[in-house]
Structure 1
Amino acid sequence: MSASKLRADGAIALFNVLEQGQSLRQSFTQLQAQHTERDRAWLQEMVYGVLRNLPQLQCWLRLLLQKPLKKKQKIAEHLLLLGIYQLAFTRVSAHAAVSETVGACDKLKCNGLKGLVNACLRNFIRQDMASRRSEDIQIASGMPKWLYRHLSQIYPQNLEKILAATNERPPIWLRVNQQQISTDEFCEALTEQQIQFESNIADAPYAVILRKGYDLTTLPGYQQGWFSAQDGAAQMAAGLLCAEPSDRVLDACAAPGGKTCHILEMQPQLGECIALDLDSQRLQKVAENLQRLKLKATLLQGDAAQPESWWDGREFDRILLDAPCSATGVIRRHPDIRWLRKDSDIPQLVKTQRQILEALWPLLRTGGTFLYATCSILEQENRLQIQNFLSNLEDAKLLPVTADEGTEQPGMQILPGDREMDGFYYARLIKC
């Protein structure tokens, strides 16, 4: 596949995210299928890089273009963003970056803009614009204005650390399936194949970290269900839920099923484990993961906020709610989130979370445990949400996850980069 075709596909992926509001997961599914594994990795690296540095790249682009491109020509702006990123942030030679970016115009059916693309990139080099970075802190952060504002207000002391971690390339966390193999045995298998890893990780007894990128399907034991990919923060859910033999467990909003599977791996003697999700296609992914890991659960399609449509009337001993959220804690893995999510989305997400909490609470038996989780770092979705819930329900009591919790500061907030984990929030409640 030509280098120009790669760059054209990168521009298409950026256009789909930034102009069409499409997730990279959707866009990459078709685009990456046309390329080799090496080229897929390059394409992802370039597109992720643009999205992580978009505010600065857009500043440069505004200086290079006399006026914004419109309609069918708009795709060329995204091609220019890719070319400027290569010139400013990568080791690609200036000649290759310019010539192959210009060549991509043919693939994008904008031949008439070759001269413009060439002139912009050459002006970028001639004026040494890469050395002229914006002094605006928000632009340097790579964050949209609304999110930068929220984070600076909530975490003034930790802002720099959060921003740095959010722009890092995250390690690959694996969770070893103890029903199929011990962590030590899995590590021996990795060593035999000369795969570099780390184990014996604090607070993550079943975890292994890979420092390099690997096609996970080629790792030892993939087909046998020896492991799953799951960040260390997400791996804490099953342990905090602490299911016991014969318990009836509900994993609400369960797809793609990582936490469902971990609950079953930790406690194979459950009475029943129900994985509930609104999306039938995503529920199919849960089924596939269960099958590969040789685990069994009851799958239900339904709206967690409307249990009357799917609940059989039998109470649960444990409920895990991994609530729909802004996903601001996992931006380092999904940089498109920062541009797909809007400030106006947050109030509706908070409302949805509250509706699900209030709908599921009556399904929990007295003495039962409810674990609320999000991959958000916004307090509206986390601490303030649980604080409000506890104040409105007399039969809900905080069951602290950490020693310093209280009704004014409920739950545990993990920030991006803490112990190399994603941003995550947990609050554990008990029904009195």
Structure 2
Amino acid sequence: MLSVRAAAAQVIAQILNGSGSLSSLLPAILPKIAENDRSLLQELCFGCCRYHPQLQAYTEYLLDKPLRAKDSDVQALLLLGLYQLLHTRIPDHAAIGETVEVTRHIKKPWATNLVNGVLRNFQRDNDKISAFFSENRAFQNNHPAWMEGSISKSWPQQAAQIMAANNQHPPFTLRLNTHNINRSDYLQLLQDNGIGAKPTPYSPYGITLEHACDPRQLPHFAEGWLSVQDEAAQLSGELLQLSPNMQVLDACCAPGGKTGHLLELEPSLRVTALDVEERRLQRVRENLARLGVSAKILCGDGTRPGDWWDGQLFDRILLDAPCSATGIVRRHPDIKVLRTPEEIDRLGQLQHQLLQNLWSLLKPGGVLLYATCSIMPKENTRVVEAFLTRNPDASCDQLDADWGLAQPCGRQLLPQVDGHDGFYYARLRKAV
């Protein structure tokens, strides 16, 4: 068995060198540590990523010279030690001693004195070091400088609130299938079971718990009465304006949360659930099976419909496009480490391609709902504006809603402290 800090250092080092993400690395390493250490492992890994901009700034200040790229394991241990000292209740002597102990197993004899010295220097001079960064906006907001700048430029009035939401632990929100039970009755059922919860303000299907839990412990989860899904993502179903027996394409469908919601809202739909990665489609199958609904599941690329499309036009298309995920940073804090501004430009090109290629599959008079979990305008309203200039048969509906901010095209939800994630929606209608 690995020690919990050795396992955390392995995960963080791989994230630092771009070899994986929290969602891909943690499931593989969890079985290698003691079961009673697994929650601590997740706390250490998520925490190091959540506070990476500040932890990285501290290490750069404390080191005489930068570490080499091949020493990402040592860099990970420094971040790990600093995180424990700053953000956990672990006693300082244990945080330092246990982290230094891991260095004795990485075959770099010099690392032991380095990690011990850096952590003890920080412990001694914490107040002076923190004062050094008091005027650094990116440090104070705990975001990479490029991301802090982009958010501040795009949303000057809301930037502080966005970054505060990004830095918090995410709320735990559920989507209820109200065909089984109405929301007020399920809230009462939770209360009877000693589980604190409240209704979401915008989605009529949403419930937010006071404390996160294993959803399998919730009443009737196994029977498909509810799913874990943020409130912002729950808005897509009604925006599509569904009717019985419609032919619907859920492009980029994995892990299947929205697919399941569409079929809960209108069980007679003929849904094609498409995703480019076969391994992700297994989650879709599992989620739909638990909900007791079915769809035609295909592995295919939305930019190349000729490879998988059967020629039947769709009444509705949901395009939840691949994006920077800058609206869900608190759920995936490794975005602060992994994402780059160049990647957002590349994703913008992919979004243009998907929108253009899938538009040809839509019936005249049909609706395509373009969605992302991004807060970057260049992935959202600018993509739609450019699409409309190229396609005279497309128009963008005005979304009259009490959520989000009206944009030139569509509406933008920004992440809220203790509320919904960041999300963008634009409803495009094809001329008859």
TM-score interval for Structure 1 and Structure 2 normalised by the shorter chain: over 0.9
Q: Which residue of 2 aligns with 1:165?
A: 165
User: Which segments of 5 or more consecutive residues in structure 1 lack a partner in the other structure?
Assistant: none
How far off is 1:303 after superposition?
Answer: 0.8
Write the mapping of 1:62-141 to structure 2, written as runs, cut at 5 A: 62-70=60-68, 73-110=71-108, 112-129=110-127, 131-132=130-131, 134=133, 135-141=135-141
Question: In the alignment, is the contact (CA less than 8 A) between 1:186 and 1:226 conserved in 2?
Answer: no
- Per-residue CA distance 1:388-420 (angstroms, 9 max, x = gap): 111221111111223699997110100011771
Q: Which residue of 2 aligns with 1:221?
A: 220
1:354 aligns with 2:341: no
User: CA–CA distance in 2 between the matches of 1:81 and 1:266?
Assistant: 46
How far off is 1:117 after superposition?
Answer: 1.8
1:290 aligns with 2:288: yes
- Per-residue CA distance 1:332-364 (angstroms, 9 max, x = gap): 100001221111112221111111111111211
User: CA–CA distance in 2 between the matches of 1:299 and 1:214?
Assistant: 30
User: CA–CA distance in 2 between the matches of 1:178 and 1:346?
Assistant: 37
Write the mapping of 1:133-212 to structure 2, written as runs, cut at 5 A: 134=133, 135-199=135-199, 201-212=200-211
- Per-residue CA distance 1:100-141 (angstroms, 9 max, x = gap): 111222344445532222222211112234643512101222
Q: Secondary structure, in 3 states, of the residue corresponding to 1:330?
A: coil
User: CA–CA distance in 2 between the matches of 1:108 and 1:245?
Assistant: 61
Write the mapping of 1:204-353 to structure 2, written as runs, cut at 5 A: 204-270=203-269, 272-353=270-351
How far off is 1:10 after superposition?
Answer: 1.4
Q: Which residue of 1 aligns with 2:46?
A: 48
For the structure 1 residues 321 and 74, does the alpha-carbon distance in structure 2 shift closer, same or farther, using more than 3 Å as the test? closer
User: CA–CA distance in 2 between the matches of 1:166 and 1:145?
Assistant: 14
How far off is 1:233 after superposition?
Answer: 0.3
Question: In the alignment, is the contact (CA less than 8 A) between 1:180 and 1:225 conserved in 2?
Answer: no
Aligned partner letter, 1:117:
V
Q: Secondary structure, in 3 states, of the residue corresponding to 1:366?
A: strand
For the structure 1 residues 407 and 221, does the alpha-carbon distance in structure 2 shift closer, same or farther, using more than 3 Å as the test? closer
Q: Which residue of 1 aligns with 2:420?
A: 421
User: CA–CA distance in 1 between the matches of 2:241 and 2:210?
Assistant: 30
How many pairs were matched up? 428
How far off is 1:227 after superposition?
Answer: 1.1
User: Which segments of 5 or more consecutive residues in structure 2 lack a partner in the other structure?
Assistant: none
Question: In the alignment, is the contact (CA less than 8 A) between 2:405 and 2:411 conserved in 1?
Answer: no
For the structure 1 residues 315 and 347, does the alpha-carbon distance in structure 2 shift closer, same or farther, using more than 3 Å as the test? same
User: CA–CA distance in 2 between the matches of 1:158 and 1:119?
Assistant: 40
How far off is 1:6 after superposition?
Answer: 1.3
Aligned partner letter, 1:148:
E
Identity, in percent, stands at 43
How far off is 1:312 after superposition?
Answer: 1.3
- Per-residue CA distance 1:281-315 (angstroms, 9 max, x = gap): 11111111000110011111111111111111111
Question: In the alignment, is the contact (CA less than 8 A) between 1:21 and 1:340 conserved in 2?
Answer: no
For the structure 1 residues 218 and 128, does the alpha-carbon distance in structure 2 shift closer, same or farther, using more than 3 Å as the test? same
Question: In the alignment, is the contact (CA less than 8 A) between 1:402 and 1:412 conserved in 2?
Answer: no
How far off is 1:238 after superposition?
Answer: 0.6
* Equivalent of residue 12 in structure 2, options 8, 11, 14: 14
1:381 aligns with 2:379: yes
Report the more deviating stretch, 391-400 or 127-136: 127-136
User: CA–CA distance in 2 between the matches of 1:262 and 1:286?
Assistant: 12
User: CA–CA distance in 2 between the matches of 1:406 and 1:335?
Assistant: 24
Question: In the alignment, is the contact (CA less than 8 A) between 1:175 and 1:230 conserved in 2?
Answer: yes
With normalisation by structure 2, the TM-score equals 0.93
Question: In the alignment, is the contact (CA less than 8 A) between 1:173 and 1:207 conserved in 2?
Answer: yes
Q: Secondary structure, in 3 states, of the residue corresponding to 1:234?
A: helix
Q: Secondary structure, in 3 states, of the residue corresponding to 2:237?
A: helix
Q: Secondary structure, in 3 states, of the residue corresponding to 1:321?
A: strand
For the structure 1 residues 72 and 104, does the alpha-carbon distance in structure 2 shift closer, same or farther, using more than 3 Å as the test? same
Aligned partner letter, 1:149:
G
Aligned partner letter, 1:401:
L
Report the more deviating stretch, 371-380 or 91-100: 91-100
Report the more deviating stretch, 24-33 or 213-222: 213-222
- Per-residue CA distance 1:70-89 (angstroms, 9 max, x = gap): 36643122111111121123
Question: In the alignment, is the contact (CA less than 8 A) between 2:52 and 2:337 conserved in 1?
Answer: no
